[in-house]
Amino acid sequence: MRILVIEDDAKIARFLARGLEADGHITETSADGSSALRRILTGNHDLVLLDLMLPGTDGFEVLHEVRCVDNTTPIFILSARDSVEDRVRGLDLGADDYITKPFSFVEIQARLRSFFRREDGRLTARRFAVGPLVLDRVERRAVHGEASEDLTLREFQLLEYFMSNPRQPLTRSMLGDRVWGHQFDTGTNVVDVYINHLRKKLRRLGLEPIRTLRGIGYQLDVEDTLGGSS
């Protein structure tokens, strides 16, 4: 899943981002309310973790503004404000959950699992489809019909990025920066190696959607998922 962490405490933001990325999620962080609001409204996030006490626009106002135009993006409040009044206000404004600080990361994990298990219409966030290819973000699997393939963390992150950008040419640098971040070494062929691993698993599902674009990089071709790839 793509998760936006809105937290002005850099230490907490790093802690959350590292834990979520270790679980296979793709994270972004924002440290103030105004920029966070823009990123929620212009981004494509599966879930938002929102602190309340933010510089500039506070978390309650961010939540209110988002819910005026977007009633579907799941938003969890994470805040040291633990009064009943604050919790009621947050939930009434449209938060999907309210977690008080200090918190345990295993609780965050459990809350995420519980939320995406619910049969309440939000399972589209768990299962992401492009053509006949489905990505199960909770189980970290590629699915086609009744068949499925488990994915490693890097394979999952690559496929999610491809599926978030269908038909778009993606360079090796773009893929490397997105999946490996600051650890990406442009002098290696690690992107090609992992794409080959991913292609083998998709081929076992009867799909070959990842095309090589000579001199550019790769592209997810949803129009030709049953055809060959070069």
Domain spans, the chain: 2-117, 126-224
Rounded Cα–Cα distance for residues 214 and 119 (Å): 44
Instruction: Give 128's strand partners.
Output: 135
Class of 126-224 in CATH: mainly alpha
Question: Helix (H, G, I), strand (E, B), or coil: what is residue 16?
Answer: helix
Cis preceding-peptide flag for 102 (omega within 30 of 0): yes
Fold of domain 2-117: Rossmann fold (3.40.50)
pTM: predicted TM-score of the whole model, two decimal places: 0.57
What are the pLDDT tens digits along the chain (230 aa)? 789 999 999 999 999 999 998 887 889 899 999 999 988 888 778 899 999 999 988 999 999 999 988 777 889 999 999 999 999 999 999 998 999 999 999 999 888 887 876 644 444 556 778 888 989 877 789 999 899 999 988 898 899 889 988 889 999 888 888 787 756 677 788 999 999 999 999 999 999 999 999 989 999 987 554 444 44
